[in-house]
Amino acid sequence: MTGPLKHIRILDLSRIMAGPWAGQILADLGAEVIKVERAGVGDDTRRWGPPYLKDADGNDTEESGYYLSVNRGKKSVEIDLASPEGQATIRALAARSDILLENFKVGTLERYGLGAEDLRKDNPNLIYCSITGFGQDGPRAKDVAYDFMIQAMGGLMSITGAPDGEPAGGPQKVGVPIIDIMTGMYSVIAVLAALAERSQSGKGDTVDVAMLDVATAMLANQAMNHLVSGTTPVRRGNKHPNIQPQDVFPVRDGHIVLAVGNDEQFVRFSEAIGQPELAADPRYATNHARVENLDTLHPLICARLGEKNLSAWIEIFGEQKVPCGPINTVPMVFADPQVQHRQMLRDLPHPLSGTVPSVISPMRFERSPLSFDHAPPLLGEHTDEVMRMLGLTGEKSQ
């Protein structure tokens, strides 16, 4: 392995999305990530299809696209946690690991003797990260959660989507499981911070990351808009609540996204659309004024942008350095010259299909370059290898 975490071992007991996303980031960074899966069943997401990866003959395998999106670079071990043998194997793995990730219901692993304090008896340095819907305490601590419901409960859906009364108005979820993804991101930050602290104290720590907490933190500027004004943020479609013009605008042959971020950019934008007088108009000269007078500014912009095609405006705004972009489909993203230049899409070797496409990590390191050599594992692909490492060859963990 290469990467800055090549000296670190992760024991990943998590499943679905948030925990596995954290594990995949750590694997990308070079850590050895041992993914523990239910014997004979595996991670729930293995069955979250179609679509499934196709083998060399074009037939569906049992590897779903969902599972493949979040388990790159790991080793899969089948273990029955309910059995004494399986629990002993987990304890042996934890004794040789730096970080443990888990997203079981609160109290489940403690009943198996696999809680943080249990495992630190053999490994005081272990960093134990629990990822749950609602955290380790509180009135809902033991409740199950999924991304969709937390997008709703955490307020995100109340500010996402078109306003009531407009076409397709109503609350909308984000098009990817954003709470799961951000929970995984926060979990990685937390365990790496605990790792840094351990280098000073010599002791492991317990990390508690809750999806609802993450969703609340993610409200960011919308939360502060409410807290400083007392008003309730509402769905505004694509209109930015604090900065204008930032929206989706119709052009002659489609739509364009404009992200004018300051008054200087608005001057250049006004010149680009042939209406320099807008930037001198006191109703629009400052961002504050543009937000306050958006009802009159927006139709003026729409009328002018409707006069040209998307490609023309992209070229014009590019010359004026006005932030803008097309609304790409997913295939268009991977066809983008910048995305291709950055090699964000790689083909990894896979035992069933020959290769599997993978969207790699966006992180780049000069001295510790990341490598992407290992596809998401088959169920139990590395059980024998890990058992040999533990000196348990011939013993059963299932």
Amino acid (one-letter) located at 20: P
For residue 228, give the H/E element and its range.
Answer: helix 220-229
Tell me phi and psi for residue 258, to 5 degrees.
-110, 135
12 catalytic? Reply is: no
Token pair 């969902």: residue? 66
Distance CA 66, CA 17 (A): 9
Contacts (Cβ under 8 Å, ≥6 apart) of 149: none
Amino acid (one-letter) located at 273: I
Q: How far apart are the first and last CA of the chain?
A: 28
Token pair 């079981």: residue? 104
In the chain the beta strands, taken as DSSP E runs, fall at 9-12, 32-38, 52-54, 60-64, 74-79, 99-102, 127-132, 206-210, 246-251, 254-259, 324-325, 345-350, 354-359
- Structural tokens at position 351: 């035992």
Helices and strands, number each (H, E), in the chain: 17, 13
Classify strands 254-259 and 324-325 as parallel, antiparallel or unpaired. Answer: antiparallel
The catalytic residue among 43, 98, 147, 180 is 180
Distance CA 190, CA 202 (A): 17
Maximum distance among all Cα pairs of the chain, rounded to whole angstroms: 81
How many Cα atoms are found within 13 Å in the side-chain-facing hemisphere of 383? 21
DSSP string, 158-182: GGSSBPTTSTTBS----SS-HHHHH
Closest CA to 48 of 130, 149, 152, 146: 146
Distance CA 383, CA 159 (A): 45
Residues labelled as active-site residues: 180
